[in-house]
Amino acid sequence: MGIAWFLPRRDRRGACFELSRMIPLRDENPSSTVPVVTRTIIVLNCLVFVYEIMLGEGLRPFMFQWGLVPERLTLALRYHEEPVVTAGVTLVTSMFLHGGWLHLLGNMWYLSIFGDNIEDRLGKARYLLFYLLIGALAGTMHYLVNPSSRLPTVGASGAIAGVLGAYAVTFPRARVITLLPLFPFFQVVALRAVWALGLWFVFQFFSGALSLGIGNAGGTAWWAHIGGFVIGAVTMKLMTLGRAPSRVLVE
């Protein structure tokens, strides 16, 4: 999740900040089925983003209407200024909005790499339920940390963080081909998923801890990422209890 692109440039940097860190290029873990749900989610996010572009000056009210505005949810819960369902539905709708091209492309890139295997493991219906549920719970985590924020938060990052958490516990030994920016050079390495995604989570956690003292720093909802990853990992474990371990290509 990140803050929408109608905000000042300094507040939009966080939406793309992760792209300056470790970048997964692909995984060596082929799925056995066509990832119809994952591809549909990607297409839907892209279509919604095109619609955002077409809104022009209407973008700002659109983002405030369908993005997750924590203060709006607080006012609905405490003072009944609007139905809780009306404000609460933004926990889901905000997952399909994005704050810029890099925000969209970064999220969809991660989903395309890791989502197919989780869809393959859970099945299409359960995977869709998993994605929407984890995304809403990740948004709830962001709300709990920032209940008085007036900024609309948008993006699929919370749900995708859940997919990453699920992948880390289901395919920990899968190889992830990763681009590491080792200044001033870049190096492509093969890391096991537990390391690649574990390092991603550690970065989110420390960024989230630092943001506690200064609010939604950099325009990124760090605690949606953290909550999504942890909840996704735990939920995946519960949903696959008793099932045979997954086979993957390993070193």
Would 15 be classed as within a structural domain? no
The reported pLDDT for the residue numbered 152 is: 93
Please count the structural domains in the chain: 1
Domain assignment of residue 123, yes or no = yes
| Those residues with Cβ within 8 angstroms of residue 125's Cβ, 6 or more apart along the chain or in another chain | none
Q: Does residue 16 form part of some domain?
A: no
Q: Kindly report the CATH number assigned to the domain that includes residue 160.
A: 1.20.1540.10
Give the 3-state secondary structure of residue 2.
Answer: strand
Q: Residue 249: which residues within 8 A CB-CB, separation 6 or more? A: 28, 29, 174, 175
Does 2 fall in a domain? no
On whether residue 13 sits in a domain, the answer given is no
Domain range spanning residue 76?
A: 23-238
Q: HEC string of 170-217?
A: HCCCCEEEEEEEECCEEEEEEEEHHHHHHHHHHHHHHHHHHHCCCCCH
Question: Which residues of the chain carry a pLDDT beneath 50?
Answer: 2-20, 217-218, 249-251
Predicted pLDDT of residue 219: 58
Per residue, what are the HEC states of 117-180?
A: HHHHHHCHHHHHHHHHHHHHHHHHHHHHHCCCCCCCEECCHHHHHHHHHHHHHHCCCCEEEEEE
**Within-domain flag for 3:** no
CA end-to-end span of the chain: 34
Give residue for tokens 């958490």: 165
Residue 248 maps to a domain = no
Rounded CA separation 93/156 (Å) = 10
Q: What is the pLDDT of residues 152-169, one digit of tens each?
A: 999 999 999 999 999 999
Question: Within a domain: residue 8?
Answer: no
What whole-number distance in Å separates Cα of residue 96 and Cα of residue 13?
20
* Tens-place pLDDT, residues 174-229: 999 998 877 677 889 999 999 999 988 888 887 777 766 555 544 577 888 999 99
Return the pLDDT at 209: 72
pTM here is: 0.86
CB 53 within 8 A of CB 100: no
